[in-house]
Amino acid sequence: MIKAEGLGKTYDGVKWALRNIDLSVNRGKVVTLLGPNGAGKTTLVRILTTELEPTTGKLTILGEDALRNPERVRPRIASIPQEAKPIYFVTPYELVFSYLVFRGFSINDAKVEARRALEELDLWNVRNKIMNNLSGGYKRRALVAMALASNAELVFMDEPTTGLDVFSRRSVWDALARLKGNSTVILTTHYIEEAEFLSDEVFIMNNGVVVSRGTVSELLNKVNGEYVVEVYGISKPIFEGYSYVKLNNRYLVYVDTSEDSSLIASECARMGGKALMRRKTLEDVVIRLIGGWYEDESSGDLDSD
Ligand SMILES: Nc1ncnc2c1ncn2[C@@H]1O[C@H](COP(=O)(O)OP(=O)(O)OP(=O)(O)O)[C@@H](O)[C@H]1O
């Protein structure tokens, strides 16, 4: 469905926004790109949607050479760019319906699919309101409805749920989950629980490269330790022999047993600090693999990948 080899992009001929990305995505999968600001997620999505030419590499999409024949790929994909905004004077219904007609749906099919998508995203009751009079979350959902209604083989969504409240976000998740198996979805997000809920595979990116990839459970296994102890209020690390990361004002220490956690907690208390123990999450894995997104000191030994 998507096969990329050695994709790279430099915008200014000096700095590489993306370096040597190899990617293969199978039909019907949901793949999530996770990573800090500037990691290269949007650049990669823009290349995969044929909006941007890579500086290096090869790209096959839906069996077509996407760099030579982008016009053969474009009608078969649907994409919601990060900065997309619907035209302010149309209604959600007009937006979705006209998009489908432009894509070649019959009037009748466009009506049926527009209604289905708008209902799925809880927009049916505002279908006839002018976009300008709707809140940002409704506008964003109307764009998502457009892509979902298209039934495109390949759907790209760059941060589809940014700015949505928890209820709206869940309705987008449910709609995307229902797409699974039929459409292939490439998603970028900063919400790690979104990646956990939806993804068949997660790509963790940083500084223009894919740092690690796998299913959520594979990624959880790539970083040692079943538990994480969050430590606050100590001036220097006291975790010799443990794997840890400094993140702003706290350390995350990756440990295997609750006994280890208790040891760290009591040592920490002795030094006037505080410690909280919990099970390791995908967020802890992302932080560990990237080395602390906002880290200002070196971290402890990184477990081999
Ligand atoms: N149009 C552009 N011109 C020049 N540099 C760009 C352009 N777009 C992105 N970049 C640079 O490319 C790098 C990757 O940016 P990109 O937007 O792909 O990251 P991202 O992971 O999507 O970030 P975010 O999570 O903030 O959306 C950054 O250093 C960014 O400054």
C-beta neighbour count of 176 within 10 angstroms: 23
Nearest CA to ligand 1 atom 4: 11
- 144 within a domain of the structure (yes/no): yes
ipTM, two decimals, is 0.98
- For 76, the token pair is 């078969």
- 199 within a domain of the structure (yes/no): yes
- 303 within a domain of the structure (yes/no): no
The b/e string for 70-89 (b: 16+ C-beta within 10 A; e otherwise) is: beebeeebbbbbeebebeee
**202 in the same domain as 228:** no
**52 in the same domain as 74:** yes
Length of the chain measured in residues: 305
Q: Which atom of ligand 1 is nearest to the CA of 43?
A: 18
- pLDDT per residue, tens digit, the chain (305 aa), is 899 999 999 999 999 999 999 999 999 999 999 999 999 999 999 999 999 999 999 999 999 999 999 999 999 999 998 888 888 899 999 999 999 999 999 999 999 999 999 999 999 999 999 999 999 889 999 999 999 999 999 999 999 998 889 988 998 998 888 888 789 999 999 999 999 999 999 999 999 999 999 999 999 999 989 999 999 988 777 777 888 888 888 899 999 998 988 888 888 888 889 999 999 999 999 999 987 543 333 444 444 33
Pocket test for ligand 1, best of 12, 41, 290, 293 (most atoms within 8 A of CB): 41
**58 in the same domain as 6:** yes
| Domain extent for 94 | 2-215
Ligand 1 centre and the CA of 18: distance in Å?
9
Contact 1, 184 (CB under 8 A): yes
Which CATH number belongs to the domain containing residue 89 in this structure? 3.40.50.300
pTM for this model (two decimals): 0.89
Type of residue at 10: T
Nearest CA to ligand 1 atom 6: 11
**84 in the same domain as 26:** yes
- 149 within a domain of the structure (yes/no): yes
- Pick the last residue of a domain from 215, 241, 260: 215
- For 84, the token pair is 């997309």
C-beta neighbour count of 256 within 10 angstroms: 12
In sign, the C-alpha dihedral spanning 168, 110, 101, 43 is positive
* CB burial of residue 266 (10 Å; 0-12, 13-18, 19+): exposed
Number of structural domains found in the chain = 2
